[in-house]
Amino acid sequence: MGVKVARQVARSLIGVIGCGLLVLGAIKLASASNDTGSVVLVIAGALLLVSPFIIDRVERLSVSTGGLELHLSREISGLGAPKMARVLERTDLAKFAESYAFVHEELNNGPYRPAKIHLQDLLVERAAGISAREKIDATEARTLFRNGSPMIRVLTLGLMQGDPSLADGTTVLSSIADSRTANEQFQGLKLAVLCWHNLARTDRQAIRAAIESSPYIRPGTDRQLLAAELLDLPV
């Protein structure tokens, strides 16, 4: 019981410190524009604030005969990508992604946004790095994107960015025209730029039409910049 209480106290202290850093960073951001130090404070505070919940989630792991098995790995395997699940678990990306999925919900609005964006970018970068050096099955990747949750869809787009041969026109078009989140559409546009010259003419035409009709690609946004780059590419 003493150990349990001590752990609860430690987690509470981490949350209090995180809250303090978050408030301090938010105040600095409100009084100064483009302050890198303030953004770092917000990110650090947000991560510390939600870290007790991440710890709880990471602790909810099951031990099987094969060792430590993450819930996300089992989910990915159940969605039709068992080989990819083994790759992600071996590289520790599944553990990071599962924690990210929880943090994504906690950092949804307000001063948490810089931390959320940072974690989104980090997840995609790690996924791209793994697929650049690990063999990923293209059929599994496309199946996982089609059947997965919003977080898994973004994770799969990251894998495809690391190895564009995993992508196909249907996946790229869906990530732009039928995206589940803003980040998915952004990552889909990035993927379209990377594999544009490998797409069929009909796929390029469909992607251009999706960009031109999307109500979410607004002027002055990162998505609009990528969209403009794509519209300048030859069909």
The strand pairing partners of 63, in sequence order, are 68
Rg (CA), the chain: 20
Mean pLDDT of 4-27: 50
Flag the least confident range among 68-82, 118-132, 141-155: 68-82
Q: What is the pLDDT of residues 75-123, one digit of tens each?
A: 899 999 999 988 887 887 877 776 667 666 666 666 666 777 777 888 8
φ, ψ (nearest 5 deg) of residue 149? -70, 170
The strand pairing partners of 56, in sequence order, are none
Flag the least confident range among 114-128, 155-169, 187-201, 204-218: 114-128
Domain segments of the chain as ranges: 10-52, 61-144, 167-235
Is-above-0.85 flag for pTM? no
Nearest CA to 145 out of 104, 198, 184, 91 is that of: 184
* pLDDT tops 90 at residue 5: no
